[in-house]
Structure 1
């Protein structure tokens, strides 16, 4: 497949994924996923496409789906999305604030939308920041940026660590993870892009420095997931874990940061992408959930979101001349449809495949739509950049 053919195919794949979102997924989740009484979003859809009315409901679902609908409205994919996002965020402010803690949000509601877990989790809060960034972009409601600033100050006071970054939450752990910091970087960049000011880009720089100093192993060219409290490496099973999907996600984030600062991030993005493919890809082009830095498969299952991160990383590497990256992106969109966006209900998805590619989890958690929307955004951006370059 030559470059022109690949570019044409990637354009059709972009339109294919966008059509799935606009024609199927966004209308489905808006009609079935939202509680009409309070505007909140349910946790997931059952295999038959009906909403799960028995499941507990996480705060991160509210944040991610507020992002999804705000972004869809901003991009013209689902104009009604602004009102949906506004309703979700209004519910979150009314019912999710942790007043006893003096800031931040709770973690989980029961099926009646009563708080059942008031603990606070850094990962959840990263997505609340992201949701407010995109809600401001579509609504121009300054209250969204004010909420983000207040939340950032609270996280620094309550969870800031002398070793850099933040602790996991207000609960005890014997580890620290790169994952919530990755999403805090995403939120900082999104808020900077929304016009919230240079301090957000400065904070993003601090997180990139943490990646360079702690998360990334330059000898093995991998991203590790779990660390000791001072970010020292771990000599146990947790310390071995490498997630190829997160390596791809960092390719996207580091390039985003480089675009905003004028810094060249190639020395990290190129080996992350190459090693993620070398260690993590199966014969069908799917990425394993977890491997070791030596290439042993630690968890051979394959989740939907990992494919979306491969798409994003591939189109970014294609911009820098990787000879196979666009073809990999084209195949990844095919895999997304063949293995995950093939649920009986159009607009729903299959979340998880086993090592043999049989269905591991037939549920459709709402949280996955965030990844799919981000992949579509990056595909469109790539086509715009490629067209401008030509």
Structure 2
């Protein structure tokens, strides 16, 4: 499948990434005066004037440009990633109490000092790839200080055993914030695998294993193949906005992450879980209506009923593509292998274009754009999915 049934070849993706997408977001998407990335662009491709940036956005962009440097897609990526990391280290690291703040003004002034688990997961991912790209020992040491903070301030125990993390740090004696979510745990799992791969240190992999155990116990329903999203303090599922939500994008994201775990560990026992998650997401979460936009819905309920009017963000499309690639690589799954091409074709028809470096971030059920801006945070999903296309599909076409 080196040549798709469309106007470009797989090999063209590398040129588009390295010559159009990454340079644009390194220039228009970066504030050279502050040394930080831009949070979002308006629909005319101008940087938003809103005076804030999220630490998770900076972390995601650091990851993208550090990996792009490592893959030799963007030689200036390491310098850019180091600059944004320096900005965060100066302004977002709590020099008095450890951990990373949630939001800053664009000049770096702390705007929200909340210590958020999701933010810390992406900071760990950013540091994993920054260390892998540049080898700076301070970065790895900061990652160790970060995970120590996560354990001490966000970690929970039940009967003396690990019981996951709370969404953000609270004062001693305060109730943990609800609902509890699987999502930050998923991204911690991603970051811990990346840190293990970057450093070779077993401790990171062992920590990832704890989250995998929690996934099997709390998040994943083996009888249905569904991934539960929201919980009360005792890990009972909670309805949100009157529904028991299922996100196809997260089903697909876990498929790819379990594949990465299997690659690093040699553990094939994750394959049946991958297959069940993919099967449920692919059966219920993909729009196949004649005349519709082929791709992954944003939200369903536990019965598979489509919610939010059938809207589709860009990021679930990228995760569906990654899941297809993961099962293609792991076991040659015919459904997954056949799914890569229409997903990629639909993405480049409805969400992104070879003509420019922008994207439509969300479409309604009729395929009309409804996103009011172009969030820079989607670059993380798009870049990783296309990097996986470049890595997997040429080899699978020859096998």
Alignment TM-score > 0.5, same fold: yes
Q: Is the Cα contact below 8 Å between 2:248 and 2:298 reproduced in 1?
A: yes
Q: Is 1:27 aligned to residue 31 of structure 2?
A: no
Q: Is the Cα contact below 8 Å between 1:233 and 1:239 reproduced in 2?
A: no
Deviation of the 1:8 alpha carbon: 3.9
How many aligned positions are there?
382
| Residues 304-344 of structure 1 deviation map (CA, whole Å, 9 limit, x = unaligned) | 0111101110011123122132231111111111111149x
Q: Which residue of 2 aligns with 1:328?
A: 339
Q: Distance in 2 between matches of 1:311 and 1:361?
A: 21
Q: Is the Cα contact below 8 Å between 2:51 and 2:106 reproduced in 1?
A: yes
Q: Which residue of 2 aligns with 1:209?
A: 213
SS of equivalent residue, structure 2 residue 296:
coil
Q: 1:41 to 1:185 in 2, by over 3 A?
A: same
Equivalent in 218, 226, 230 of residue 222 of structure 1: 226
Q: 1:76 to 1:106 in 2, by over 3 A?
A: same
Q: Which residue of 1 aligns with 2:113?
A: 118
Equivalent in 113, 122, 128 of residue 127 of structure 1: 122
Q: Distance in 1 between matches of 2:40 and 2:57?
A: 9
Q: Distance in 2 between matches of 1:8 and 1:354?
A: 30
Q: Distance in 1 between matches of 2:339 and 2:153?
A: 42
| Residues 145-180 of structure 1 deviation map (CA, whole Å, 9 limit, x = unaligned) | 111111001110011011422100025522100000
Q: Is the Cα contact below 8 Å between 1:304 and 1:350 reproduced in 2?
A: yes
Q: Is the Cα contact below 8 Å between 2:155 and 2:166 reproduced in 1?
A: yes
Q: Is the Cα contact below 8 Å between 1:53 and 1:111 reproduced in 2?
A: no
| Residues 245-300 of structure 1 deviation map (CA, whole Å, 9 limit, x = unaligned) | 00000000011111111111111000111110111111232111110121111222
Q: Is 1:305 aligned to residue 315 of structure 2?
A: yes
Deviation of the 1:98 alpha carbon: 2.2
Deviation of the 1:133 alpha carbon: 0.6
SS of equivalent residue, structure 1 residue 273:
helix
Deviation of the 1:9 alpha carbon: 3.0
Q: After TM superposition, which residue ranges in structure 1, 4 or more long, deviate above 6 angstroms?
A: none
Q: Distance in 1 between matches of 2:391 and 2:157?
A: 37
Deviation of the 1:217 alpha carbon: 0.9
Deviation of the 1:189 alpha carbon: 0.4
Q: Is 1:182 aligned to residue 206 of structure 2?
A: no
Q: Which residue of 1 aligns with 2:371?
A: 361
Unaligned residue ranges in structure 2 (runs of 5+): 171-175
Q: Is the Cα contact below 8 Å between 2:34 and 2:107 reproduced in 1?
A: no
Q: 1:127 to 1:259 in 2, by over 3 A?
A: same
Deviation of the 1:196 alpha carbon: 4.5
Q: Is the Cα contact below 8 Å between 1:57 and 1:108 reproduced in 2?
A: yes
Q: 1:238 to 1:66 in 2, by over 3 A?
A: farther
Pairing 1:274-293 to 2, within 5 Å after superposition: 274-283=279-288, 284-293=293-302
TM-score by length of structure 2 reads: 0.91
Unaligned residue ranges in structure 1 (runs of 5+): 1-5
Q: Which residue of 1 aligns with 2:4?
A: 9
Deviation of the 1:382 alpha carbon: 1.4
Q: Which residue of 2 aligns with 1:349?
A: 359
| Residues 350-376 of structure 1 deviation map (CA, whole Å, 9 limit, x = unaligned) | 111112110010421111111111112
Q: Is 1:89 aligned to residue 81 of structure 2?
A: no
Q: Which residue of 2 aligns with 1:47?
A: 43
Q: Which residue of 2 aligns with 1:3?
A: none
Q: Is the Cα contact below 8 Å between 2:18 and 2:73 reproduced in 1?
A: yes
